[in-house]
Amino acid sequence: MKVDYGVGVTYNKAWRVKELAVDDVRGSNEESYALLPSYLHMLKLANPGTITRIEKDEENRFKYMFLSFDASLDGWKHCRAIIVVDVTFLKTKCGGTLYVAYLKDGNNQIFLLAFGIGDSENDNAWIWFFRRLKEAIKDREHLCIVSDRHKSIKNAIEQVYPGLYHGVCLYHLKQNLWTKFRGLHVHAIFETASRAYSAQEYHSAMAKL
């Protein structure tokens, strides 16, 4: 604005104008959330077999959302029964958390299984997401879930999938090692232990670790 028009604009004013312009082009966050039910309905019409779910709070406001495409549910039957779950935080005015469940397919590539949206990474939200996931994928023998060490994930798995094997993500464990033992040569040994194919090799690496 200063260069093109010779007008001085404060940072705050420029930010507010940008937000108004985005709302004009894309619509507001509130309007987008209000359109979610019709959007999910159209997804199910265009992709028969797709499973969606929306839950509202006591004041009829958006609380949770779950989505799993039919193609994902069909592909799940042919993937290894190891599901990885994680979250990322939605950095918008409304905030919230995006949940994701994914697998590895026969080509060892990431295969998305389901998405969810909730308020934050807490026990109630994870329990709700896992219940919807269980309804969508049904029971399967030797199912395993892998995640980071967030306590809410552990609590939710124990409630929704009692007795299920819950593994901890190698990457997150390695990051903890790197943080707490920086400079010590433990990471290569840890990699050897984590990828061992026999009990003897594993115990040997763990003894060195």
One domain for residues 208 and 112:
no
One domain for residues 137 and 153:
yes
Would 13 be classed as within a structural domain?
no
Number of domains in the chain: 2
pLDDT at 29: 82
One domain for residues 153 and 105:
yes
pLDDT at 102: 96
One domain for residues 154 and 201:
no
Which structural domain, as residue segments, surrounds residue 183? 169-209
One domain for residues 114 and 197:
no
Would 17 be classed as within a structural domain?
no
97/65 Cα distance (integer angstroms): 11
What's the rounded mean pLDDT across residues 52-58? Answer: 93
Of 38-42, 97-101, 161-165, 183-187, the one with minimum mean pLDDT is 183-187
One domain for residues 156 and 201:
no
Would 4 be classed as within a structural domain?
no
DSSP state of 68: E
Question: DSSP letters of 148-180?
Answer: -S-HHHHHHHHHHSTT-EEEE-HHHHHHHHHHH
One domain for residues 66 and 133:
yes
Would 5 be classed as within a structural domain?
no
One domain for residues 50 and 83:
yes
For the stretch 135-167, pLDDT in tens is 999 988 899 999 998 999 999 999 999 999 999
One domain for residues 40 and 133:
yes
Task: Give the chain's mean pLDDT.
Answer: 92
Report whether 66 contacts 129 (CB < 8 A): yes
For residue 183, is pLDDT > 80?
no
Would 119 be classed as within a structural domain?
yes
For the stretch 74-127, pLDDT in tens is 999 999 999 999 999 998 778 899 999 999 988 889 999 999 999 999 999 999
How many Cβ atoms sit within 10 Å of the Cβ of residue 200?
A: 9
Would 19 be classed as within a structural domain?
no
Report whether 47 contacts 95 (CB < 8 A): no
Would 75 be classed as within a structural domain?
yes
| Position with higher pLDDT, 19 vs 53 | 53
